[in-house]
Structure 1
Amino acid sequence: MGIVQRQGLRNTLISYAGLVIGFVNTTVVLPRLLTPAQIGLTGVLVSLATIGAQLASVGFASTGMRYFPYFRGQGRNHAGFLPLLLGLPMLGFVVVAGLLWLGKPLVLHWYAKDAALLGPHYLVAIGLAACILLYSLQDAFLKALYHTAFSSFVQEVLLRLLIVAAAAAYGLGALSFEGFVLAYLGAYALVALMLSLYLMAIREFNLRPTRAALRVKPLRELLAYGGFVLLSNISGTVLLTIDNLMVGSKLSLAAAGIYIIATNISTALTMPFRALYKTAFPLIAEYWKEGNMARLADFYQRTTRLNTLLGSYLAIGIALNLDFIYGIINRPAYTAGTTAVLLLLAGRLFDGIAGVNGIIVATSPRYRFDLIFNFTLAAATVALNWLLIPRYGLAGAAVAYCLALTGINLARTWFVWRAYGMQPFDARIPRILAVAGVAAAVVWFLPSLPNLWLNLLWRGGVLTLVYGAGILLTRTAPELEQLWAKVLRLKK
């Protein structure tokens, strides 16, 4: 766990810095400066771009991390790995950009209620798709090289600062809304550029193709894996984008804006998971290459326990302080997303507790089996949103998301257990959840204070005390016990 701990600590610190900036961005700056419809517009543009980038990548981001261990150190510049990683996705982007351009009338028909707002900015989605594709491929290469901290910084911190700056400029009248949308695009472009400059700085940015790359692993094998990953990743892309897209289409861009704020609030729960997964993917690929099943099984259980420990604490903290969060927003329209936040928290918590099952399946010799689960899930997610959004609005979208996450994690956990005899749960998991339940009940019955900030400190302090004490007393987290022992030694 040495590499994971070092990189994970850096990524966690960066991720939480980004969380603070993102929280200010989504709960103070953007809701105060932009209307819900304008926030919904940016969300729809990013969702369209994300789907486009995913299709253009032909699964090569995951392919790069899966196969780089075979290229590492093979001749000059890892046998020309980077141009191989970037080349085919760039060709794919040309096709996707053409489809997005030709599909504009159809998309505007879907969003007929808000076509006047979406239409003038539609082509920005193509530019965003190019930026997302470039930085996702470079990010995958950096993960494979175990250089994850800078990539985390530019995506989690720099990107959000740039968006905040653009929104502030719009609020001050220095930019029109059209200028803000272009600055939004520019922020994504700068992230892609910064990753390229970083690769140059560490002398890993070499775009000269070599025939040696095709001798390390046949192109047919890379394309076959990439194709399966692309189809498998459809479910992940659908989970991230389809609710925003369908809320905007079925209801309105304003409703999509409210839902995006609810999604962003619940995203705080995922920060420790995402920080860990950045390093977990290449490490798990190495375990498969070495055939070290014992270390893989131990890693599986330890990450699940850690995610349960942190995730339960954060989920309770967010859920019991929604009054504070919406009070800071200070716009009653956004409170319509309260129920959606709670449902999204439940789904994201289960996703974290299930551990790294998705990465294990994606990097395993039986990765093809994951295609069936994911493809079925993608179809089910669309169907659930189609049925539930018209009936239950924002809550319907959140229920669809929660059911989808639960379904895919149950399927993957079962598959890993049946195929490889590994499961992520031990006796500590129910004890952690029991402690979390007690802590939540204690905080729930606390009297509220009249001041929002004092109430936050009051509830957060009691939650930390009760939850931390319960975890130590039940001996469910060895890592926390070691940290507590160090604190006691320092006091002496």
Structure 2
Amino acid sequence: MGIVLRQGIRNTLISYVGMGIGFANTIFVLPRLLTPGQIGLTSLLVSFATIGAQLSAFGFASAGLRYFPYFRNQGRNHAGFLPLLLGLPLLGFAAMTVVMSLGQPLVLRWYGPADAALLGQHYGVAVGLAGAIMLGGLLDAYLKSLFHTSFASFCQEILLRLLIVGSALAYSAHYLSFAGFVVAYASAYAVVAVLLVAYAAAIGELHLRPTRAALRVKPLGEMLGFGGFALLSNISGTVLLNIDNIMVGAKVSLAAAGIYLVATNVSTALTLPFRALNKTAFSLIAEYWKEQDLGKMGAFYQRVTRVNTLVGCYLALGIGLNLDFIFSLIHRPEYAAGAGAVVLLLVGRLFDGITGVNGTIVVTSPRYRFDLLFNVLLASAVVGLNWLLIPRYELVGAALAYCVALVSINTVRTWFVWHFYRLQPFDGHIPRLLLVAAVAGLATWALPTLPNLWLTMLMRGSVLTVLYGAGVLLTGTAPEAVALLRKLRRR
């Protein structure tokens, strides 16, 4: 248990540092160094590669985590587990390479002449990038199974982002052509995969000789069945994260896709506290299911919703009311065209956080297979709404599609949890919290804009903090905040 605890602490620190670097890179560094069209192109290549990697791996990263305990310690090479883990995905990647290559004319047909020409010049990079992403994901799963997670987390969360920024800096300093930058961008993922291979070798766990014993530990059909289920679940999440950017690029332009990506990254700041809290929530809710203690689960469900509402409303207002300041830091006025999309994305992600941990409850429950249905419905809704809304409203249409899909699926999930388990996330504190947030937000929005954007941001941030904090404490809408304040006073 000691190694798990140590690795968990290190991974948490690495994740937060990586999120900070990633946020700074995608909001303030890369948009300054690259045009919207260049960012749109790289994001499109990563989106295609990510989908290709998921299909190639056929869910074997998840299957590896699920089945490795049966192979562990069966001989020095874990009964030939690693060749089995890599073998079928590598065959899948070979097939995917053929599919992606033959499908290039069809893909390019989605885009305008200028964008298609640019994408066509670099399309081959997406194929190699898919292989690097797939290999990195499989090795990450293998190292997780061995309880060696810190190095992989460092490579994926910190080193990868630093390598990408280094490539952009080299391009902006004219050490690389743009074609060289695209190759360097993709090579950063390959470097991570190679380092994970080297790390596995360094700890004595790189066993690449296949054995027949691997096929006797667990039936291959069972592993393929689980991998197929995992693939359907994972690919729906991958589609959700990438399809809007792909469709904006296809139906508007690569430049619009770059602007939309920056808007998405701005709104992602709202989700960071939700993700941190949900990491703890997953293990706790799984324990409540084990104990069959729905009372404690219901109390925890409402407590998480209160905290997410408290923090989420404050962050959403802080971001939404200071978009002029945030986009001014990029020093490229064309990116400000994504401000309307940011607002809609904030609404969708705030609702996703406020509805608490309904998805975690479903996926850890006896009815966990319904989570796949919800994910597929969510991905389908995003694709359908994007198809309808992007041609008419462009960036705002993509954001509206994402917002409507998130609100709809979370409403269904919340009803599902209430219908089957009589658990719901809301108590009397939530309406009061929302009212306090609305009053504080409107009062802050009504403030005049000062000649200096920094002073405007400081004024709005200060007024919002005072009004929101005072409203929460005086109305007693967040018992957790009151308890924390009392604790700080005693100290």
Deviation for aligned residue 1:245: 0.8
- Opposite residue 396 of structure 1, the aligned amino acid is G
State how far apart, in whole Å, the 1-side matches of 2:377 and 2:55 are. Answer: 18
- Opposite residue 187 of structure 2, the aligned amino acid is G
State how far apart, in whole Å, the 2-side matches of 1:455 and 1:194 are. Answer: 46
The 5 Å alignment of 1:258-297 reads 258-278=259-279, 290=290, 292-294=292-294, 297=298
Preserved contact between residue 4 and residue 147 of structure 2 (Cα < 8 Å):
no
State how far apart, in whole Å, the 1-side matches of 2:62 and 2:361 are. Answer: 12
1:447 aligns to 2:415 (yes or no):
no
State how far apart, in whole Å, the 1-side matches of 2:93 and 2:42 are. Answer: 21
State how far apart, in whole Å, the 2-side matches of 1:99 and 1:193 are. Answer: 25
The answer for the alignment partner of 2:438 in structure 1 is: 437
Q: 1:488 to 1:78 in 2, by over 3 A?
A: farther
Deviation for aligned residue 1:455: 2.6
Q: 1:333 to 1:13 in 2, by over 3 A?
A: same
The farther-off stretch of 240-249 and 217-226 is 217-226
Map Cα deviations across residues 227-264 of structure 1 (whole Å, 9 max, x no partner).
Answer: 22322333322221111111111111111111111111
Task: Please give the secondary structure, in 1, of the residue aligned with 2:329.
Answer: helix
The number of residues matched between the two structures is 487
The answer for the alignment partner of 1:48 in structure 2 is: 48
Preserved contact between residue 112 and residue 253 of structure 2 (Cα < 8 Å):
no
The answer for the alignment partner of 2:307 in structure 1 is: 306
The 5 Å alignment of 1:15-414 reads 15-64=15-64, 71=70, 85-113=85-113, 114-140=115-141, 151-196=152-197, 218-278=219-279, 290=290, 292-294=292-294, 297=298, 300-414=301-415
Preserved contact between residue 282 and residue 360 of structure 2 (Cα < 8 Å):
yes
State how far apart, in whole Å, the 2-side matches of 1:73 and 1:299 are. Answer: 35
Q: 1:250 to 1:475 in 2, by over 3 A?
A: same
Q: 1:415 to 1:218 in 2, by over 3 A?
A: farther
Instruction: Give the structure-2-normalised TM-score.
Output: 0.85
Preserved contact between residue 148 and residue 279 of structure 1 (Cα < 8 Å):
no
State how far apart, in whole Å, the 1-side matches of 2:316 and 2:475 are. Answer: 20
Task: Please give the secondary structure, in 1, of the residue aligned with 2:424.
Answer: coil
The farther-off stretch of 246-255 and 432-441 is 432-441
State how far apart, in whole Å, the 1-side matches of 2:428 and 2:395 are. Answer: 36
The farther-off stretch of 231-240 and 426-435 is 426-435
State how far apart, in whole Å, the 2-side matches of 1:297 and 1:73 are. Answer: 37
- Opposite residue 185 of structure 2, the aligned amino acid is Y
The farther-off stretch of 207-216 and 407-416 is 207-216
Q: Any stretches of 5+ residues in structure 1 without a counterpart?
A: none
Map Cα deviations across residues 330-375 of structure 1 (whole Å, 9 max, x no partner).
Answer: 2222121111111111111122223333344334443333333333
The farther-off stretch of 196-205 and 394-403 is 196-205
Q: 1:203 to 1:454 in 2, by over 3 A?
A: farther
The answer for the alignment partner of 2:424 in structure 1 is: 423
Preserved contact between residue 66 and residue 285 of structure 1 (Cα < 8 Å):
no
- Opposite residue 103 of structure 2, the aligned amino acid is G
Map Cα deviations across residues 103-151 of structure 1 (whole Å, 9 max, x no partner).
Answer: 1111112224212211121111122222222333444556667766655
RMSD: 3.5
Q: 1:400 to 1:218 in 2, by over 3 A?
A: same
Deviation for aligned residue 1:326: 1.2
The answer for the alignment partner of 1:460 in structure 2 is: 461
Q: Any stretches of 5+ residues in structure 2 without a counterpart?
A: none
Preserved contact between residue 124 and residue 182 of structure 1 (Cα < 8 Å):
yes
| Rg larger in structure | 2
Instruction: Give the structure-1-normalised TM-score.
Output: 0.85
Deviation for aligned residue 1:154: 3.4
State how far apart, in whole Å, the 2-side matches of 1:222 and 1:363 are. Answer: 20
The farther-off stretch of 341-350 and 425-434 is 425-434
Preserved contact between residue 27 and residue 329 of structure 1 (Cα < 8 Å):
yes
Q: 1:38 to 1:88 in 2, by over 3 A?
A: same
